[in-house]
Amino acid sequence: MNVNELKERFGISGVVEFGRGEGGLTRMAITTPGGEAEVYRNGAHVTHFKPADGQPCLWVSKSSRFEQGRAIRGGVPVCFPWFGSAGPDPESPFHGFARRMDWDVESTEKTDTGAVVTLILRSDEQTQRLWPGQFELRITVTVATTLTMALEARNIGGEAFTITEALHSYFRVSDVRNVKIAGLENTEYFVTDEHERQGDEPITFSAETDRKYINTTSTCILDDPGMARRITVEKSGSDSTVVWNPWITRAAEMSEFGDDEWPGMLCIETANLPGNAVTIPPGGSHVMEARIAAERTNQ
């Protein structure tokens, strides 16, 4: 559907508005009394969320190109059906194909407390050239005072398949060197193939950080005194959490990531990684959900 057809079928005046976003890509702007958000069809990508009484929560790189078929750097990319380089062969696209494809809008709804939009991606010849699973993948985005994203993978084929996945959330922070993440104390994590255990203290940042926490369903709390706010990331259907910041050297090596942008962002990713992979039988489904809330602090 083009933008006008989407407006006609799914638009809700003053609540869900369809238009052209960055790079001319199709974007939904969602406005509710509790908060606002933006969602692109490309990747079913949430790029903006701001509570009505607060500041924007999500970070997007100023260098992101916003091109059809290209992953957006920032916001909340959908990693599916594999995370990182866990694809079926060395040429598999990093973090899977879902974040690079156009999703269909399935429904939009105004509720008493906000708005709900659902997008769907179905397996086809293109996806099956990359991965054989037959699936329907839905993301339901609920915008109110909180942002809720529920990712449902359904097996519509005759063979079980196994997935790894993530809602790869990038958060805006005042300075990563001055924030803390609580909730993952005493949890096992790995960096590359080295397994370690988080201590009793919250996570702080003084160098490149890429920690993949496994066997954890914990809520994470991002405390940012520089912005006088606390972001809570609550989840379900997820047994892994990734905490990531590229720091100086890695940021300079990355495309679509400004060399000086690393202090202002931090990823807390709701995930199921290798070791917590999900096997879905024929006719079965799995839902992974992330709920993001922000509150002011007195710091």
Q: Where residue 32 falls among pLDDT bands split at 50, 70, 90?
A: very high
Tell me the catalytic residues: 168, 269
Residue 50 pLDDT more than 90? yes
**Region 76-84 average pLDDT:** 97
Residue 42 pLDDT more than 60? yes
CA proximity to 193, closest of 77, 80, 84: 84
3-class state of residue 133 by DSSP = coil
Across the chain, mean pLDDT equals: 96
3-class state of residue 252 by DSSP = helix
- Cβ proximity of 185 and 201 under 8 Å: yes
**Region 55-70 average pLDDT:** 96
Residue 90 pLDDT more than 90? no
**Region 265-280 average pLDDT:** 97
Element (H, E) at 289: strand 285-296
275: which 2 tokens? 């070791």
3-class state of residue 263 by DSSP = helix
72: which 2 tokens? 């957006």
Residue 175 pLDDT more than 90? yes
What is the Cα–Cα distance from 141 to 62, expressed in whole angstroms? Answer: 24
Rounded alpha-carbon distances, angstroms, from residue 26 to 5, 22, 45, 167, 186: 12, 9, 11, 21, 43
CA proximity to 184, closest of 211, 150, 224: 211
Q: Which residues are 271's β-sheet partners?
A: 166, 240
Q: Where residue 181 falls among pLDDT bands split at 50, 70, 90?
A: very high
- Cβ proximity of 247 and 190 under 8 Å: no
Q: Where residue 51 falls among pLDDT bands split at 50, 70, 90?
A: very high
Q: Where residue 193 falls among pLDDT bands split at 50, 70, 90?
A: confident
Which one-letter amino acid corresponds to residue 14?
G
Give the per-residue pLDDT at 176. 98
Q: For residue 99, give its domain range.
A: 3-296
Report helix, strand and coil shares of the chain as percent, to nearest 5. 10, 45, 40
23: left (phi over 0), alpha (psi -120 to 50) or beta: left
Please report, rounded to a whole number, the percentage of residues in the chain having pLDDT higher than 90: 95
Q: Where residue 299 falls among pLDDT bands split at 50, 70, 90?
A: low
What is the Cα–Cα distance from 153 to 155, expressed in whole angstroms? Answer: 7
- The more confident residue out of 91 and 201 is 201
Element (H, E) at 7: helix 3-10
Give the domain CATH number at 36. Answer: 2.70.98.10
Give the per-residue pLDDT at 203. 97
Return the number of other C-beta atoms located less than 10 Å from residue 6's C-beta: 19
CA proximity to 285, closest of 77, 122, 135, 165: 135
178: which 2 tokens? 């001055």
What is the Cα–Cα distance from 195 to 232, expressed in whole angstroms? Answer: 26
Give the per-residue pLDDT at 276. 97
15: left (phi over 0), alpha (psi -120 to 50) or beta: alpha
Q: Of 137-141, 180-184, 255-259, where does mean pLDDT reach its minimum?
A: 255-259
Q: Give the total number of structural domains in the chain.
A: 1
**Region 70-74 average pLDDT:** 95
What is the Cα–Cα distance from 103 to 112, expressed in whole angstroms? Answer: 26
Give the per-residue pLDDT at 94. 94
Q: Where residue 270 falls among pLDDT bands split at 50, 70, 90?
A: very high
- Helix segments in 216-292, DSSP class H: 247-253
**Region 170-184 average pLDDT:** 98
